[in-house]
Amino acid sequence: GQQLNQSPQSMFIQEGEDVSMNCTSSSIFNTWLWYKQDPGEGPVLLIALYKAGELTSNGRLTAQFGITRKDSFLNISASIPSDVGIYFCAQSWGSNYKLTFGKGTLLTVNP
């Protein structure tokens, strides 16, 4: 089956720094989704991308759907302590829309 490679696995940054993480897949998909999960909570949808080349922002977050349709990145600008959490990329495939998730990027922000 398809696999999503998400990197880095973890990041330790200082408050105010910018952050970038990415996902690559072995197959072509139609949708990239980025979620954030706080400890003990459910994933929260941050950004959804539906078209190759699409660049979408949500506040300090920006994500892009790669032209090859096999990759996506998520950038966070001017990080703040509440950005701490695990960020997941996800893709849907097939007509039933089930999601395949990456392993996640654990972000730690030092105030």
Partner 1 sequence: DSGVTQTPKHLITATGQRVTLRCSPRSGDLSVYWYQQSLDQGLQFLIQYYNGEERAKGNILERFSAQQFPDLHSELNLSSLELGDSALYFCASSSPGSREETQYFGPGTRLLVL
Shortest reach from residue 14's CB to partner 1, in Å = 28
Chain residues 69-88 in contact with partner 1, contact rule CB under 8 A: 88
The site map against partner 1 for 42-61 (x = CB under 8 A) is xxxx--x-x-----------
41 binds partner 1 per the rule CB under 8 A: yes
Backbone angles phi, psi at 40, to 5 degrees: 75, 5
62 binds partner 1 per the rule CB under 8 A: no
Shortest reach from residue 97's CB to partner 1, in Å = 4
Contact footprint for partner 1 (CB under 8 A): 30-31, 33, 35, 40-45, 48, 50, 88, 90, 92, 94, 96-104
